[in-house]
Structure 1
Amino acid sequence: MGQVVIITGGSSGLGRCTAAIFAAQGWRVGLIARGAGGLAAAAADVEAAGGIAAVAVADVMDSAGLVAAAAAIERALGPAQVWINAAGNGVYGRFTDVPEAEFRQVTEVTYLGTVNGTRVALSLMRPRGQGTIVNVCSGVVFHGLPLMTSYSGAKAAVRAFGQALRIELAFERSRVRVSTVFPPAVNTPFFNHAISHMGWPARPVPPVYQPDVVARGIYMAAMTGRPEMTISGTVAAFALLSRLAPVLTGSVIRRLGVDGHLTRDAAADHGASPTVFAPSDKPSAVHGAFGERARRWSSQMGLRRLYVRLAGSRGLS
């Protein structure tokens, strides 16, 4: 019997892609999301990769629902060794154009959803004395992006929450690990699912990576327990520039303007299906609409995998 991972936001995009990565490595995969259709599609991916899946419908804003979902998955698959918080959503537009209800929804799902998932994971792992929690954050924590004020603030909170929690667990000499990962812009349906107040749909700020690159980074974080990990050289360089030259970083971001955050592609506009307040009525894909120039590799991640192998860690591929 393989080890068990539970993934919130597992019905599309990064969560769904990560599920298949774990399944290919022999893990049993539990998936939690709001939409039954998306969960069924993600479970099919897991089975196609040779894994065993269990799904549970729950909203990460509903703590009681998350507890019930986790219990159902553990009854089906066994105790979870890894929990991944990958649920999130977005609203694009100037801060004053974003309704309060939308701002709150992004904050509650993206930040408090991570907090709720972590609370449930800890309730399972602390009595067992081990486990790894991976919080999927974003490169925007190193410098918030304009037109993404709610998302930038929520992800910054996710990072600080993880930092504080790691110290608390160290106080009690817990063997439960908390890892926060910082992906680059990723070609997922996130942008189709976001609400846009810019007149056109949102798009990822280049360079864009395919979700497989990030999913392998999430898997590596789960295996190594690294406290924080940038995924891609792009994010590593952005983090360094933001720390050494914050004014210059802000100037570079300003040059993107509004057009740097939106697409005027009519096909993308037609494919927009916001899911900020409710799940889609049809399954969502792993990949988004911006794959034409998306990078399928990251030299930084390749070197990191090589280092981990040489250091003696097992299970990475």
Structure 2
Amino acid sequence: MTRISVVTGASAGIGRAVARRLAARGDAVALLARGEEGLEAAAEEVRRAGGTALPIPVDVADHAAVDAAADQVEKELGPIDLWVNDAFSSVFAPFLEIGMDEFTRTTEVTYLGYVYGTRAALSRMIPRDRGVVVQIGSALAYRGIPLQSAYCGAKHAIQGFTESVRVELLHDKRNVHVTMVQMPAVNTPQFRWVLSRLPRNAQPVPPIYQPDLAARAVEFAADHPKRREYWVGGSTALTLAANAVAPGLLDRYLARSGYDSQQTPDPRPEDQPANLWSPADGPGGQDFGAHGDFGDEAKNRSLQMWASQHHGLLAGVAGGLLAGAAWAALRR
């Protein structure tokens, strides 16, 4: 039976990689995004991978449009089994250099876009009592960093919103699940088209991971959605642990390092596109694909992610080793 999956932000970056990954396992994939060039290219990749593609141009900040897209998916493909929220926008600048209209727009896309997508999915899944929603999160859902106040605020909001919805589903004993995947810095094209007022090119904070790794994590979460969230990458685990234990120390560390670590040595081009208000891959624009410019240093494997996905196995092995050591000690 073919699974019906929806991916927002599917025209580039993690969303694009997730769409390919789901197609490779035979899903019919509805791709939601604004950029027509990226959408069509993503749809072609889905078809080449063996899946059925349904590209739908939509701005996730428009609730009615998102709901209409969900209707279209169910009419043309069938009942939605999986909804992946990934669409986002951002502004790289100190808080006082971000216009309030820009802050509002980032919040509408990055936070409310998830709210609208989750509502569209759950309103259809709950009556059938089956389905999964995966929220693409970030270490920044727990730990704010400088120069990304709008994005960090939105990711924190998604975290709280998702927890609330998850508990409601548990209370009602629904067979519908919402899980979140907290990502590290990922080599996506966003750094080519994010609205930036930084003097130098924006970059992900190292260590950097490939979007293909992120896509594998999303697929695993979709197939094991009873787990409340997953962490991807050792840097994510270390950041969240440090923030829980010594947030003030982390404040001071980020105050010293957070500006330089988010910029390359190269000056930012004056003509760099910005996709906050309109897609950089709109008509006549460029297809940016899944990968960014940092492939030479990006990792495609994570021991931490494997351990996170197999913690039961590791606990069993550790328990067995302890039991064996105890038995050996008793026989002495």
Q: Does 1:248 align with 2:261?
A: no
Give 1:310 deviation, angstroms.
9.6
SS in 2 for 1:198: coil
The letter of the residue matching 1:258 is Y
Q: TM-score, normalised by structure 1?
A: 0.93
Q: Does 1:285 align with 2:286?
A: no
The letter of the residue matching 1:139 is A
Residue correspondences, number: 310
Q: Does 1:298 align with 2:299?
A: no
Q: What's the counterpart of residue 314 of structure 1?
A: none
SS in 1 for 2:122: helix
Matches within 5 A, 1:193-272: 193-225=193-225, 226-265=227-266, 269=269, 272=272
Matches within 5 A, 1:113-128: 113-128=113-128
Measure the CA separation in 2 of the matches of 1:273 and 1:189: 12
Taking a change above 3 Å as real, the CA distance of residues 309 and 131 of structure 1, as seen in their structure-2 partners, is farther
Measure the CA separation in 1 of the matches of 2:92 and 2:178: 29
SS in 2 for 1:205: coil
Measure the CA separation in 2 of the matches of 1:290 and 1:177: 34
Matches within 5 A, 1:132-143: 132-143=132-143
Q: 1:273-309: CA deviations, max 9, x gaps?
A: 2111111222221001111211111111233455589
Identity score, percent: 40
Measure the CA separation in 2 of the matches of 1:192 and 1:161: 30
Q: 1:55-83: CA deviations, max 9, x gaps?
A: 11111111111111112122222111100
Q: What's the counterpart of residue 329 of structure 2?
A: none
Q: Is the 8 A contact 1:192 1:271 kept in 2?
A: no
Q: TM-score, normalised by structure 2?
A: 0.89
Matches within 5 A, 1:1-317: 1-225=1-225, 226-265=227-266, 269=269, 272-280=272-280, 281=282, 282=285, 283-306=287-310
Q: 1:220-268: CA deviations, max 9, x gaps?
A: 11110021111112101111111011122222222314222122335x7
Taking a change above 3 Å as real, the CA distance of residues 101 and 153 of structure 1, as seen in their structure-2 partners, is same
User: Higher Cα Rg: structure 1 or 2?
Assistant: 2
Give 1:41 deviation, angstroms.
0.6
List gaps (5 residues or longer) in structure 1: 312-317
SS in 1 for 2:132: strand
The letter of the residue matching 1:242 is N
Q: 1:140-173: CA deviations, max 9, x gaps?
A: 1221010100001000000000001111112211
The CA RMSD measured in Å over matched residues stands at 1.8
List gaps (5 residues or longer) in structure 2: 316-332
Q: Is the 8 A contact 1:90 1:148 kept in 2?
A: yes
Q: 1:31-59: CA deviations, max 9, x gaps?
A: 11112221111111111111111111111
